[in-house]
Amino acid sequence: MENKKPFKMGGLVLGKDKQLMGNEKIYFIGEDVHGLIIGATRCGKGRTLVLQTIGVLAMAKESSIVCDPKGENHDYTAHFLRKCGIDVFTLDFKDPLKSNHYNFLQSIIDAVAEGNLSQAIDYVWDITGALVGEAKGEKLWSNGEASIIASCIMIVVFENMDNPAYQNLTNVFYFIAEMCKAPKQGEEMALARYMKQLKVKNPTHPAVGLVAISDIAPSKTRGSFYTSALTTLRLFTNPLIYEMTKTTDFRARDIGTKPTTVFMILPDGKTTYYSLASLFCTQVYSGLSDFADKLGGRLPIRVNYVLDEFGNFTKIPEFAGQLSVGGGRGIRFNLFLQSLAQLEEKYGREIARIIRSNCETWIYLQAEDLETQKEVSERLGKYTTTSYSLSSSQQHYTSNASQSVNLVGRELLTPNEVSRIRRPYNLVTSRNDPVIMTSPDLSKWLFNDFYGLGSKEHNNKLRMIRSDARKTHQEEGIILWGIWKKYQ
């Protein structure tokens, strides 16, 4: 492996051909385009496309952000990636004490430290929008909740620039929980008293403007804002999530300046932490976009999102817009879905259509629903074929026969024919002609040797050894700001 030349570029793997002398010819997408991969549960997309794509990107020294249900991708490839000179980080929601640290407030902290308050406020609204999501009913409720979270984030960050241990979302949760408790009769809420003092102390404090939306609502309505805000931030009360998010080991711009792979390891079968995975993807994209703009519009190192189980992600704000402009900045998305219905369920019919149209390359592995098969069939288009017909009739002692030849249109593949595609074959469509590619199981690729893999029993043992070798943090307990004690 050490003697092999790195690839000039990498991308989403489509398939391979065997060559002489045991070599392989790998087909992948090198252009700045996004990919949509359709694969039903247990269709083998991880072992036929994902693991190979991770390897090709590493050999091209491109960065990647990989959604990794169960942690298999990390366990199989991390050793190989480091040999390729890739910095490897994990956000491990399955075993947080083995995770790297990532503080979701770090971009805001850095902007405040640089004196760039306008950018800090933009980042506050980015994180708040991702956490709260779009309004499903009247906007008053979501806007009020977002206003509370945004203002309290800015308070926790701005007032603790000399105390970084308090600058995290766990402290934001407890600040809201303690400062927004119902006051005794005749008394004012602690948060209201705090904000009054803040306005006197610093009339231009950024939190003052952020809280204005909720301030104009009646007191009973504000109570709903506080409850909703605490519900949204509830995951950060978990001591293990606090341990994972209390500080930062890397920043978004690092991913765009040196070859880096971040594995988002998520529990298999649970969608609890997919909202935090969505938030991470949103924050990294925002940070990379701002960084690219400072460098003339493009990142020094191309960044690839490899989002397996994308259908489980919570809705990413303005995702269609990210796809539209991301490629030009050197940011590519590869979205793995079980069916197209998952996209419509999360984003609605119109936005889902825009997302699909922004993904130039589609790879169809297998789908169980007819609507997905129909859309893939329609995407392939039709071709002209010849139709023959023969008819005859007989009356008494005479007979007549006629035949005709017609040109008719026919689907290149009917929905039924699409449904019959099985591994190792996959169907690739793009702006060029469609093609059937061969992408066998990982065991039949050279990457299997590069990763040190073998039989199923060997791989299970190897995963256990590599997982046990990962550094484990000590749980130190939650450190709280405690400012609310002055107001109780």
Find the Cα–Cα–Cα–Cα dihedral 383, 384, 385, 386, rounded to 10°. Answer: 170
Q: What is the pLDDT of residue 160?
A: 98
pLDDT tens by residue, 394-449: 666 666 777 777 877 889 999 999 999 999 999 999 988 999 999 999 999 999 99
Q: State yes or no: pLDDT of 330 exceeds 90.
A: yes
Q: What is the pLDDT of residue 5?
A: 64
Q: What is the pLDDT of residue 373?
A: 96
Using 50, 70 and 90 to split pLDDT, how confident is the model at 389? confident
How far separated are the first and last CA of the chain, in Å rounded? 64
Is the pLDDT higher at 217 or at 452?
A: 452
- Extract the tokens encoding 359: 């993904």
Q: State yes or no: pLDDT of 455 exceeds 60.
A: yes
pLDDT tens by residue, 299-318: 999 999 999 999 999 999 99
Q: What average pLDDT does this structure show over 202-208?
A: 91
Q: What is the pLDDT of residue 140?
A: 77
Query: What is the share, in percent, of the chain residues with pLDDT greater than 90?
Result: 81
CA neighbor of 60 nearest in space, from 8, 126, 132? 8
Q: Which long-range contacts (CB under 8 A, 24 or more apart) does 75-80 make?
A: 75/462, 75/463, 75/466, 75/467, 76/51, 76/451, 76/453, 76/459, 76/463, 77/51, 77/451, 78/261, 78/263, 78/466, 79/451, 79/452, 79/466, 80/1, 80/55, 80/450, 80/451, 80/452
Using 50, 70 and 90 to split pLDDT, how confident is the model at 217? low
Q: What average pLDDT does this structure show over 36-63?
A: 96
Using 50, 70 and 90 to split pLDDT, how confident is the model at 270? confident
Q: What average pLDDT does this structure show over 135-159?
A: 89
Least confident of 88-92, 248-252, 431-435: 431-435
Distance CA 350, CA 347 (A): 8
Q: What average pLDDT does this structure show over 25-45?
A: 95
Q: What is the pLDDT of residue 268?
A: 84
Q: What is the pLDDT of residue 396?
A: 62
Q: State yes or no: pLDDT of 454 exceeds 80.
A: yes
Q: What average pLDDT does this structure show over 68-78?
A: 96
Using 50, 70 and 90 to split pLDDT, how confident is the model at 51? very high
Q: State yes or no: pLDDT of 371 exceeds 80.
A: yes
Q: What is the pLDDT of residue 400?
A: 72
> Residue 295 carries which DSSP code?
T
Q: What average pLDDT does this structure show over 37-60?
A: 96
Q: State yes or no: pLDDT of 2 exceeds 60.
A: no
Burial profile 201-228: b = 16 or more Cβ within 10 angstroms, e = fewer: eeeebbbbebbebbeebeeeebeebbeb
Q: What average pLDDT does this structure show over 33-60?
A: 96
Q: What is the pLDDT of residue 209?
A: 87
pLDDT tens by residue, 343-359: 999 999 999 999 999 99
Q: What is the pLDDT of residue 120?
A: 96
Using 50, 70 and 90 to split pLDDT, how confident is the model at 132? very high
Is the pLDDT higher at 21 or at 64?
A: 64
Q: State yes or no: pLDDT of 178 exceeds 90.
A: yes
Q: What is the pLDDT of residue 397?
A: 65
> What is the overall mean pLDDT for the chain?
93
